Amino acid sequence: MKTRFTLALYLTVAVLALGVLTGCPASGPTPTPAVPVDGVLDVDMRNYVYEPRSFEFKVGETVEFRLISEDEPHTFTVKELGINWVVPKNEEPQVETFTFSEAGTYRLVCTVAGHEGSGMVGKITVVE
């Protein structure tokens, strides 16, 4: 899928720029480990799952989220951070930008009826 390729490309460039070698997280039913990002992040939202499910950012970091929901409408909601992005069924990304200002661990949920209960949850960690 184009969005996963784009994310892989951004991560590869970041790794090469830092001179660090890392492995790619495995896909499948196992939850994805936290993905440190800088700049642009593609997020697939479908089948009651966020991909990736877990994110790590630094205080002061500004991130452009490119949200894709190809199956049905979803939300990208983190109440403690004031994020409540409603994402209609789309094939082109909905772009949202956010600057993380406070360290902590936050719960990401889809607030569409029944989606959170079906497992559409994630985690955002913001570090100093």
Q: What is the pLDDT of residues 26-76, one digit of tens each?
A: 444 455 566 555 689 999 999 999 999 999 999 999 999 999 999 999 999
User: Considering the domain boundaries, does residue 73 fall inside one?
Assistant: yes
User: Considering the domain boundaries, does residue 115 fall inside one?
Assistant: yes
Residue 7 has pLDDT above 60, yes or no: no
Q: How confident is the model at residue 13 (pLDDT cuts 50, 70, 90)?
A: very low
User: Considering the domain boundaries, does residue 25 fall inside one?
Assistant: no
Q: How confident is the model at residue 91 (pLDDT cuts 50, 70, 90)?
A: confident
Spacing of C-alpha 118 from chain mean position: 18
User: Considering the domain boundaries, does residue 104 fall inside one?
Assistant: yes
User: Considering the domain boundaries, does residue 27 fall inside one?
Assistant: no
User: Considering the domain boundaries, does residue 26 fall inside one?
Assistant: no
Domain limits for position 120:
2-18+33-127
Looking at residue 109, what is its pLDDT?
A: 98
Looking at residue 39, what is its pLDDT?
A: 86
User: Considering the domain boundaries, does residue 123 fall inside one?
Assistant: yes
Number of domains composing the chain: 1
For the domain that residue 69 is a member of, what is the CATH number?
A: 2.60.40.420
User: Considering the domain boundaries, does residue 93 fall inside one?
Assistant: yes
Q: How confident is the model at residue 105 (pLDDT cuts 50, 70, 90)?
A: very high
